[in-house]
Amino acid sequence: MREPLDNAAALDPTACVVVEACAGSGKTWLLVSRMLRLLLAGAAPSELLAITFTRKAAQEMIDRLYDWLRLLAQSDATTVRGFLRERHVAEEDVDALLPRARGLLEAVLSAQPGPTVTTFHGWFLDLVQRAPLDAGLPWGATLLDRPQQMQDEVCERLFARWAASDTAEGVALRALLADIGDSNLRGLLRRFLDARAEWWAYTEGHADPVTYALDRLRPLLHPVLETEPAAAIWADPLQCARLARVADALEHGTATECKRAAALRQALAQHDLDAVRRCILKADGGRLASKATKSVHAALGSVIEGWLDDYTALEEALENVARHEIDRRIWALNRHGLLLGHAYVESCQAAKAQQGLIDFTDVEWLAARLLRDPVHAPAMALKLDVRYRHLLLDEFQDTNPLQWHALSAWLVDARQSERGITVFMVGDPKQAIYRFRRGEARVFDVAADFLRMQFGARRFSTDMTRRLAPVLVRAVNSVFADAAGFAAHAWTPENADRAGAVLCLPVQVEKRTVDVPPNLRNPLLTPLPEGEERAVQAEAKRFAEMLRDEVLGRWGVADADGLRAARPGDVLALVRRRTHLQRYERALEQAGIPFITSRRGGLLHALEAQDLVALLETLLLPHADLRLAHTLRSPLFGCNDDELLQTFAAREDSGWERLLRCAQQPVCSPALARAARLLVRWRDLCGTLPVHDLLDRVYHEGDIEARYAAAVPPAMRPQVAANLRAFIELALKQGGGRYPTLTGFIRELAALIDDDAAPGEGVAADNAYAVRLLTIHGAKGLEAPIVWLLGGTDHDRAAAYAVLAPWSPEAPRPEHFSLFGRIADHGTGRADWFASEATLAAREADNLLYVALTRARQGLIVSGDAARNAWLKRVDTAWQAFPEPAELPTAAPVAVEVDTGPVAIVAPPVGSRVAPAVRSIAAARGEFFHACLECFAPPGARRDLAALAMRLKLEDERWALETAARALLARGELARFFDPARYLRAHSERALLDADGQIQRLDRVVEFEDAVWVIDYKTGEDSLTLSDTDLAARHRAQLERYGQLVAALHPAKAIHVAVLRADGRLVVV
């Protein structure tokens, strides 16, 4: 069924194809090539829908596509022909397709819309946002970017409400608190919420989901759950008699046995089954290997057989009771947990709905519902602007069942309505590592089968990797030789000569004996040694030192330009979990190796970001001594400990007051003086300046970049600079700039710091400078010449207080949904599901190792605690059997171009600040009066006086003002300017264009035979207070300018200029 990959067939644009491709085999190459072939074959760009796992991968795919299209458009014919042949365009078509190939760049770039390259989430969100109203989706809802905060708030609210009530929820809450405690309860609810899509799918169509789920769980448990099983034992005289007999016999034994006998008697008397259990069974509930000592045997003689039968019967009874009790606990956990979990989910949904928000799980669920329900199909078709006809699916192994159901529904539907639809799917079930995000590797096979049946898709697989050097290929093959379904990988011929090295470094530490040293440690001289996790400690040290002393600058790595010595950027260090990340970071720090890391909380945990937060908090609350001291000590101010002593030690008042006072003194240290000056200045700004602008002032006046560069070790500089940059970007972008106040911003950061949505660290422009220290999940899609897998102690902790919701991908919904507690409480009824989940988990662990090992091109180092790390043992064993070189041949370092740094920006100052216009009632009256004059003076201008009065809030005075204006115009002495019979022409609001291109608006221009009058209305109340001379003086310059303009238009006439005051007096200038 699986054929070896045939690129020609796989790229055939008319065929439907599934490709299972190993790590480094060029999936992206294949996928983008396929897109090209589709376009070449005439597909419209908008008909292409490519779905991949991350937005980053999508962006990279688009980038690659554009690159190739450019190449096709711009290269010479031979290159293009070669390119097409490489992608298996039939020889006879190559020349014919040449023009089309060349035109594709523009065809794609000018397409409206172009090809869609997105993620499932992106696609679903688009669908949901376009959904017809009658699909009942939350129209107009926007994506909630930080669900965790809202979830926590809802949880607190519910807890408070439930705890204070006697409702079923209140009862359940108290029961769960008593049974499992606060933190387990919170964990349980969180996991229930994470599994809400499964919950919805499982209970879909049932009016009372909790009852439904409980009804389905009930048959799996002991038939009687209401009564305590212990009671049955005490009620059974047979058992009691047995117990007595066993106790009797034990009395013949050793001292210990006598004690057991006494305890058993007491237990019998007190009806204490736990005590009985302690006497009969081992502490862990298992059976004792030997039930009694020789002395008992001797004492009982032949009766011993019967006695042993008694004993076994008791053991069985106790085990039954234990199982029964487990079932009772399962039942209680589910009865209460499902009730609360469901209520929690509902409350979260309601909270989102109230704010018009949805999250990704909602989107997924809604999209699936939309696609599965044929009722909406015609409306949906009208809502979409594209008809996808060519589907390309990448990284399909990480798809979850719900996504698959949505997609398959769409496919079935699309095939019916659309001819010539094609599907191309690539993935690698070996690289499925997203179970924690509900990814399900089995979906891949199910989908492949579906595509074969429905679309006649052929299924190919390839185990040829272009990434790994031969040594690594052999090393990986040896590790996975026994893994089910693993086919040995091969290397591509081009790589045959590429050097490779693999090294396994088990770290051994002797157990430390706890002995008190002869002398007490003097903490002033001797630091406490790092205590815990000594293996990790040793490993970290080894890691950093080996990188520094042996790998960097020595090991030769091949890149496009040939061989050169490894740089920090060539190394990818991987961890399985973040647990010990800090330890490795510290080691790199101490070795002076630059690195970037995917630490949780990212940016906000970086010291430089915390410095800025401390600064902002200081600006808000300078009396917070700790923040102030932190700020002073940061490179921003660089105060030393003596200066701190001056500011803080032995005082009654706050450090802030001391600082301010100190800054007044002539002998104040320059650092403190600078700090006081800048802090006071910035404090004044923080009430009104937006956060970003305030930060820019801080960066500018505090010279932050340069000061940090001087303060931190050279290896850290790029990262620190990147983080400082990222922080100011955060102020621009966080919440879309929705936090206009400093407090709001700080609160937002505080809420964000341990949120999953916390911003990552700044990415320094140049990736070559730093070792990347990432989780394996974070390294998905990455590769590096040298990979170091840091194993640590690697202890897996089993999940507890979580959801069991097995969902086989063929099924429309999970076959089961229930909650479980600790491992010991899994019970027997659900054993098969637990077992298959465990198998899946084990497979995923294998996958994770596979992904980690296959990130490397040439050098691969695996380290870890020799005693406790399972991966390490496995790798060590495999590699010892097939020794390979342990180091890469050395090469000379190639100097990296030193960036001379940007040139300083210099520019002449431009622009000015203008004082805002004063808004007074007097000014408003003047403006209105002015408008009245314009309006009423013939020929009259159109003005909406009513609206103007309303805008100026002069509704009450409107009539008075209008009357006054009319009265003014009617004055006899002004008649020559306002009575049309008395002049040739008059213009109100006369616009004139001066030589500079400015339009001047003259209030009134009146033309006579021999003269032209320019009249300027000065109707503001202030003009009344001025004498004529002052008034004329004030406006002379402006009026003379008007005069000149009018003179230019009427060279033959005399020009008069005058000011008309509100009281009707005309002041000739």
Range 911-930, binding another protein (CB under 8 A): 911-914, 916, 919
* Region binding another protein by CB under 8 A among candidate stretches 103-111, 229-237, 267-275, 819-827: 103-111
910 binds another protein (CB under 8 A): yes
Strand 556-559 to strand 595-597: parallel, antiparallel, or no bridges (unpaired)? unpaired
Total residues belonging to the chain: 1069
Closer residue to another protein in complex, CB, 412/671: 671
Q: Is the peptide bond before 113 cis (omega within 30 degrees of 0)?
A: yes
Closest distance of CB 914 from another protein, Å? 5
Q: Interface residues for another protein in 865-904 (CB under 8 A)? A: 901-904
DSSP class per residue in 350-412: HHHHHHTEE-HHHHHHHHHHHHH-GGGHHHHHHH-S----EEEE-SGGG--HHHHHHHHHHHH
> For another protein, which is the closer residue by CB, 237 or 740?
740
- Under rule CB under 8 A, which residues in 26-85 are in contact with another protein? 55-56, 59-60, 62-63, 66, 70, 73-74
Residue 59 beta carbon to another protein: minimum distance, rounded to whole angstroms: 4
Task: Give min distance, CB of 593 to another protein, in A.
Answer: 11
- The 3-state DSSP class for residue 555 equals strand
When the beta carbons of 200 and 708 are compared against another protein, the nearer one is: 708
Binding residue (CB under 8 A) for another protein from 217, 728, 878, 1015: 728
CA angle, 138 as apex, 136 and 142 as ends, to 5°?
A: 160
Nearer to another protein, 826 or 930 (CB): 930
The reply on whether position 577 binds another protein by CB under 8 A is no
Task: Kindly state whether residue 995 participates in binding another protein, applying the rule CB under 8 A.
Answer: yes
User: Of 387, 388, 404, which Cα lies nearest the Cα of 396?
Assistant: 404
CB 47 within 8 A of CB 68: no
**Applying CB under 8 A, does 92 fall inside the site for another protein?**
no
Q: Which stretch binds another protein (CB under 8 A): 192-200, 644-652, 818-826, 1028-1036?
A: 644-652
Give the three-class secondary structure for 18. strand
SS3 788: strand
466 counts as binding another protein under rule CB under 8 A: no
Nearer to another protein by Cβ, of 91 and 701: the residue is 701
Among 245, 372, 383, 548, binds another protein (CB under 8 A): 383
Dihedrals phi, psi of 1012, to nearest 5 degrees: -130, 130
Q: Is 768 in the site for another protein (CB under 8 A)?
A: no
Cα–Cα distance for residue pair 157/166, rounded to 1 Å? 16
Nearest CA to 556 among 569, 566, 567? 566
The yes or no reply on residue 136 touching another protein (CB under 8 A) is: yes
Scan residues 996-1025 and list those touching another protein (CB under 8 A): 996-999
| Shortest CB 595 distance to another protein, Å | 12
CB of 477 to another protein, least distance (A): 33
Give the H/E segment covering residue 462: strand 458-462
Please give the Cα distance from 524 to 510 (Å, whole number). Answer: 28
Number of residues this chain uses to bind another protein (CB under 8 A): 178
Q: Which residue has the tokens 């002069």?
A: 954
Torsion of CA 490, 496, 499, 505, to 10 degrees: 20
Please answer whether residues 53 and 431 qualify as being in contact, where contact means their C-beta atoms are separated by less than 8 angstroms.
no
Residue with tokens 């950027």: 569
Site string for another protein, 926-965 (x = CB under 8 A): ----------------x-x--x--x--x------------
Interaction residues for another protein, span 116-135 (CB under 8 A): 126, 129-130, 132-134
Q: Which is nearer to another protein, 288 or 626 (CB)?
A: 626
Give the one residue of 234, 486, 648, 834 binding another protein; rule: CB under 8 A: 648
| Interface segment toward another protein; rule CB under 8 A; list 17-25, 335-343, 392-400, 711-719 | 711-719
Torsions phi, psi for 276 (to 5 deg): -60, -45
By the 10 Å C-beta count (0-12 exposed, 13-18 middle, 19+ buried), 777 is classed as middle
- Check residue 653 for interaction with another protein (CB under 8 A): no
Q: Closer to another protein at the Cβ: 357 or 800?
A: 357
Q: Which of 725, 971, 1053, 1065 binds another protein (CB under 8 A)?
A: 725
Work out the end-to-end distance of the chain between its first and last CA atoms, rounded to an integer number of angstroms.
Answer: 102
- Hey, is 803 helix, strand or coil? strand
Amino acid identity, position 851:
V
Q: Which of residues 393-412 bind another protein (CB under 8 A)?
A: none
In this chain, which of 497, 532, 897, 973 binds another protein, going by CB under 8 A? 532
Is 693 a residue that touches another protein (CB under 8 A)? yes
Instruction: Between 310 and 359, name the residue whose CB sits nearer to another protein.
Output: 359
Q: Given the rule CB under 8 A, which of 490-498, 829-837, 984-992, 1058-1066 is the region that contacts another protein?
A: 984-992
Is 177 a residue that touches another protein (CB under 8 A)? yes
Residues 330-369: x where in contact with another protein by CB under 8 A, - otherwise, as a string? -----------------------x--x-------------
Residue 666: CB minimum distance to another protein, A: 15
Q: What are the structure tokens assigned to 699, written together?
A: 């960066």
Note whether 1040 binds another protein by CB under 8 A: no
Joined together, the tokens standing for residue 435 give 């179970």
Name residue 459's beta-bridge partners: 2, 18
Q: In the stretch 589-628, what mask flags binding to another protein with x, by CB under 8 A?
A: xx-x--------------x--xx--x-----xx-xxxx--
Shortest separation between residue 51's beta carbon and another protein, angstroms: 16
Instruction: Establish if 141 lies at the interface with another protein (CB under 8 A).
Output: yes
Distance in angstroms (rounded) separating the CA atoms of residues 306 and 249: 11
Listed residue (325, 322, 318) closest to 233, CA to CA: 318
Residue from 96, 231, 710, 970 that binds another protein (CB under 8 A)? 710
How far is the CA of 747 from the CAs of 579, 613, 695, 722, in angstroms? Answer: 27, 10, 16, 23
Of 293 and 646, nearer to another protein (C-beta) is: 646
Q: Could you tell me the two tokens for 150?
A: 């809202």
Q: At what angle do helices 691-702 and 742-752 cross, to 10 degrees?
A: 90
Among 1044, 1054, 1063, 1068, binds another protein (CB under 8 A): 1044
* Residue 529 sits in the site that holds another protein (CB under 8 A): yes
Angle at 528 between CA 527 and CA 531, to 5 degrees: 145
* Window 494 to 523, contacts with another protein (CB under 8 A): 514, 516-517, 520-523
- The single residue among 92, 274, 284, 385 that binds another protein, judged by CB under 8 A, is 385
Pick one of 238, 288, 379, 1011: the residue that binds another protein (CB under 8 A): 379
3 state DSSP class of 4: strand
Of 635 and 827, which CB lies nearer to another protein in the complex structure? Answer: 635
Among residues 3 and 701, whose Cβ is nearest to another protein? 701
- State the Cα–Cα distance between residues 856 and 776, nearest whole angstrom: 12
Smaller CB separation from another protein, 516 or 981: 516
The string of DSSP codes covering 595-608 is: EEE--TTGGGGSHH
Q: Give the angle 7-12-16 at the CA atoms, nearest 5°.
A: 100
**Closest CB 24 distance from another protein, rounded Å:** 20
CA 172 to chain centre: 34
Choose which of 4, 181, 885, 940 interacts with another protein (CB under 8 A): 181
Radius of gyration of the chain (CA): 41
Q: Which of 91, 106, 373, 559 binds another protein (CB under 8 A)?
A: 106
CA dist list (Å): 328 to 317, 418, 523, 951 = 16, 55, 54, 74
